[in-house]
Structures are given as C-alpha cells and as structure tokens.
C-alpha cells in the first residue's frame, strides 16, 4: 500500500475544500475600471498600498486644493473641484502619540529635513549606540551626537511638530509619533502642488465632502467575499502542502528502511 496522509489531515482538507466551495463571490459592483468608485470597491480598500490618481484632475490641482487625512481609514485624499484627484495610504500616530485632528495650514516646506526630537544617538566614533532615541529623554555621550530621523518633503502643520513627510507606511496601520507619513511618490507630488497656506484637514472618520460614500459602503460586501475566498484558498493550499510533506516523509522513511534491509541482507 502506498503512502497515505493521516485521517486527521484528510478531514481538514475535506473541510477546507467545502469551505472554498461555499465561499462564493458576490456580484461585482458596477463601476467602470479607472473610476474612483471602482478603486474604493476593489483590492481591499482602504487597507491597500495602491494609490489612486486622476491625472486630469491632478493637472488642475493647485495650492488652494484641500487635503484630507482620514485617521480611521489611514488614507489621504487631495480634492479638486469637489472630486478626489488622488487617494493614498498614510501612517499616522500610534496610540501613545496620536495625530491631532483639526483644520491646519501648511506653515513651512523643506525638501530636506530631519527631526529634532526623534532619531538615533551616535558615540564619538560615529557608532550608533541608541536607535529610536528621543532627544529630550536620552543622553548623548561625550563627543557623540544626536542624528534626527530624516523627513524628506517636510510640510509643517503646527509649530509643535505636526507635519506631513516621507516615511515608512503600512496600509491601514498607524506607525508614527504623530506626524503623517506619506509614500515618497505622493509626498513629492503634494510638495509640488501645495504652498504655505494650503489647507490640510485631519479628520477622525470620513470627511463630509467624501463623494464615494455609497460606493464604499455598498462595495464592502463584495470585498469581504473576495477576502473570504482568498483566505479559503490559502488555507486549502497550506493543508495540501502539509499532505505533500507527510507523503514525502513516508517515502523517505520507506526508502531508508529498504536501504537498511538491503544492507543487512
């Protein structure tokens, strides 16, 4: 008799196959590809690193075009004529360092900028002796120096440290000490468009002017069905790999036993 997987694993595979059969996709929302409505009803929005761009609207964008940062979605949006010209992922402040909400204006712009509060501490030989240091809390050794974290395309929103800049972004996840981290591509684009005085609104939930509210909410069922199907496929694939590994182990053990038998004989 050839190698067989364990009854327990076989039962798990049967259950996973049934789960996949039952994970039917709901009807896809009727929005044309390339539209903003299509963007927000696909690819797991808002928890996606994808960036939406309406090139025609972006050409019309200027320093009077408002920016919204939605904390619940961890998304940023640029509006032109009441329409979304761009939508991108951001990472804002973690629980201990929440990002301020409110309506702000760009106060200062610098392509090259470094934090004077957060960074690394180096010793006299230039070796980093403390990562993720806070200049007001950690001591710099004699002859050493504090090196602030780089914040390219810095746009200051308050004089006490709130700003937008290039930084590590993880879709749907707050990561910063309060600033609004933005992918480099969008940070550069926004820096080109804005000026001192441009309005940046930081809101807890969807902004009132959001134009695709119905599409977003109606598309959640479809996106959830896509996610369930993907998870079922991944689960089944993992179990099938476990089955292959079990069979391979049995084959290896049988080959070793036959080799030992031949050696004894």
Give the pLDDT of residue 194.
Answer: 98
Residues 144 and 190 in one domain: no
Residues 163 and 239 in one domain: no
Give the pLDDT of residue 226.
Answer: 72
Residue 24 near residue 233, CB atoms below 8 Å: no
Give the pLDDT of residue 132.
Answer: 76
Give the pLDDT of residue 222.
Answer: 80
Q: Which of 222, 196, 185, 219 is nearest to 87 (CA)?
A: 185
Give the pLDDT of residue 185.
Answer: 96
Positive or negative torsion for Cα 260, 261, 264, 265:
negative
Residues 89 and 127 in one domain: no
Residues 138 and 183 in one domain: no
Q: Which domain holds residue 68?
A: 45-104+155-213
pLDDT < 50: residue spans in the chain: none
Residues 58 and 177 in one domain: yes
Q: Is residue 33 part of a domain?
A: no
CA distance 59 to 56: 5
Q: Is residue 261 part of a domain?
A: no
Question: What domain count does the chain have?
Answer: 3
Residues 187 and 71 in one domain: yes
- Enter the tokens of residue 239: 């179990």
Q: Is residue 38 part of a domain?
A: no
Give the pLDDT of residue 1.
Answer: 58
What's the pTM value of the predicted model, to 2 decimals?
A: 0.75
């Amino acid at each position: 008799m050839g190698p067989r997987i364990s009854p327990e694993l076989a039962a798990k595979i049967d259950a996973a196959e049934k789960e996949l059969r039952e994970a039917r996709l709901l009807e896809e929302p009727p929005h044309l590809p390339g539209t903003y409505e299509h963007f927000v009803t696909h690819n797991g929005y808002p928890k996606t690193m994808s960036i939406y761009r309406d090139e025609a609207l972006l050409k019309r964008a200027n320093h009077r075009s408002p920016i919204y940062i939605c904390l619940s979605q961890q998304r940023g949006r640029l509006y032109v004529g009441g329409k979304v010209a761009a939508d991108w992922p951001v990472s804002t402040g973690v629980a201990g360092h929440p990002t301020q909400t409110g309506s702000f204006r760009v106060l200062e712009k610098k392509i090259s900028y470094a934090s004077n509060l957060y960074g690394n501490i180096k010793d006299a030989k230039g070796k980093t002796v403390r990562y993720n240091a806070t200049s007001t809390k950690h001591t710099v050794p004699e002859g050493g120096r504090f090196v602030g974290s780089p914040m390219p395309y810095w746009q200051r929103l308050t004089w006490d440290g709130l700003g937008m800049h290039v930084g590590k972004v993880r879709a749907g996840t707050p990561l910063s000490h309060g600033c609004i981290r933005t992918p480099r591509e969008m940070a550069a684009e926004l820096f080109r468009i804005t000026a001192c005085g441009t309005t940046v609104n930081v809101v807890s939930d969807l902004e009132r002017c959001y134009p695709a509210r119905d599409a977003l909410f109606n598309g959640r069922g479809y996106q959830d069905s896509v996610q369930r199907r993907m998870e079922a496929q991944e689960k089944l694939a993992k179990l099938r790999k476990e089955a292959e590994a079990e069979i391979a182990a049995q084959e290896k053990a049988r080959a070793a036993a036959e080799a030992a038998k031949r050696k004894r004989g």
